[in-house]
Amino acid sequence: MSRDYCRGCGYPHNACLCGSIQPISPKTQLVVLQHPAEVTHKKNSVRVLSLVVPDVQVYVGESAVDFGPLREFLARCGKPIYLVYPSAQSRSVEEQPIERDVVLLLLDGTWRKAFKMLQLNPWLSDYPAVHLAKGYASRYKIRKSSRPDSLSTLEACAYMLKALDAGLDVTPLMAAFDEMVDMRIRAMPASIQSRYRNPTP
């Protein structure tokens, strides 16, 4: 049987997030390069990000050809563009003066897939890379990562936006994200839920 979905948030009615969605309009333009494998992933944080920040642009693909329309947009946007990706060449967003009216490019996928996307799109190296300073802890407890400093794409966006605009309230992003995470935990068997609510140190 097919499931009934909410027209507002796109989630099943028994997992509707509408009550937790409070849209915000940051000055910073968020652009997400999303790996195809993430599109239908149930724990996809970009889906929640798009509900809270309606102006976010999401381009799905992996190769340079896939991102042709994105490159056209960037060529005519007329704003400074930064790639959010930690590397030996990237600089902390907190240690340099960056105006909030810029474009941030974020790669959405596992570390392995994001790295592959980076290799397949050498044009991304044309833009200065930035990263967040250390000290940000992820609340994405329902999804494992190979790196201890991993943040979901939504979390990275929230912290980046706050770093560029201290006056911006990013609480709506984190509130919706926390509800999505909790919703996924509530759908688990009771024996499994306890592992996430009371994780072993």
- Write out pLDDT tens, residues 86-136: 988 899 998 889 999 999 999 999 889 999 999 999 999 999 999 998 777
Q: Got the DSSP string for 99-138?
A: -SSSEEEEEES-HHHHHHHHHH-GGGGGS-EEEPPS-PPP
Is 73's pLDDT higher than 70?
Answer: yes
CA distance 178 to 75: 36
Nearest to 109, CA basis, from 57, 156, 68: 156
Please write the tens of the pLDDT for every residue from 151-162.
889 999 999 999
**What is the average pLDDT across 180-185?**
77
